[in-house]
Amino acid sequence: MLVTSPLSRADVLAELGLPAVGAALAAVTGIALISRRYAFRGRTLVAFLLAVGMFTATLSLLVLGILNQTLDTGAAGEHTSTIVQKTKQTGKSTTCHIIVGSWRPDHEYEDFTISQDAWDTVRPGTSTYTVRSQPGRFGIEWIVSRTLHQ
């Protein structure tokens, strides 16, 4: 879902996973019925159907995620929260995160990735983070913009 900007990837899978799997099963079934007339047999057919199923499910999730944004007619909301913690994960690359209190009733906090330069200026307990979001056509909230306030 890199093309879209959902607030939670888990929400995308929970809400759109079943339709994506349904599309994949329909594609696999159709291809399995069509391929009976051709030379596909055994492991070759299973591997091919598995590849088609994975491709179709991924493409369906992507398309539904894009439609969630483009067909969204809901009003944008603006949520400003105090940054309660900042963390940094290092390895082959460095990823900087900030944690803010959540405005969503079923979440305690929200975790956002920010640039190293912005992370260096963050003061937990003092700095705030504003997220502008929309509700999404399929009920999956997505991020319109994010702003860090010192």
Q: What is the pLDDT of residues 127-146, one digit of tens each?
A: 999 999 999 888 888 888 88
Would you state the CATH architecture of domain 77-149? Beta Barrel (2.40)
Q: Is the pLDDT at 120 greater than 60, yes or no?
A: yes
Q: Is the pLDDT at 9 greater than 70, yes or no?
A: yes
The one-character DSSP state at 68 is H
Q: Are 83 and 51 in contact (CB under 8 A)?
A: no
Q: Is the pLDDT at 84 greater than 90, yes or no?
A: yes
Segment 77-105 mean pLDDT: 91
pLDDT for residue 1: 39
| Identity of residue 115 | S
**Rounded percentage of the chain residues whose pLDDT exceeds 70:** 92
Q: Is the pLDDT at 70 greater than 60, yes or no?
A: yes
Q: What is the pLDDT of residues 14-43, one digit of tens each?
A: 888 888 888 888 888 888 777 766 666 677
Q: Where are the domains of the chain?
A: 9-70, 77-149
**Rounded percentage of the chain residues whose pLDDT exceeds 90:** 25
pLDDT for residue 2: 43
The residues, any chain, with a CB within 8 Å of residue 129's CB and separated by 6 or more, are: 80, 81, 83, 98, 100, 112, 146, 147, 148, 149
On whether the pTM is more than 0.85, the answer is: no
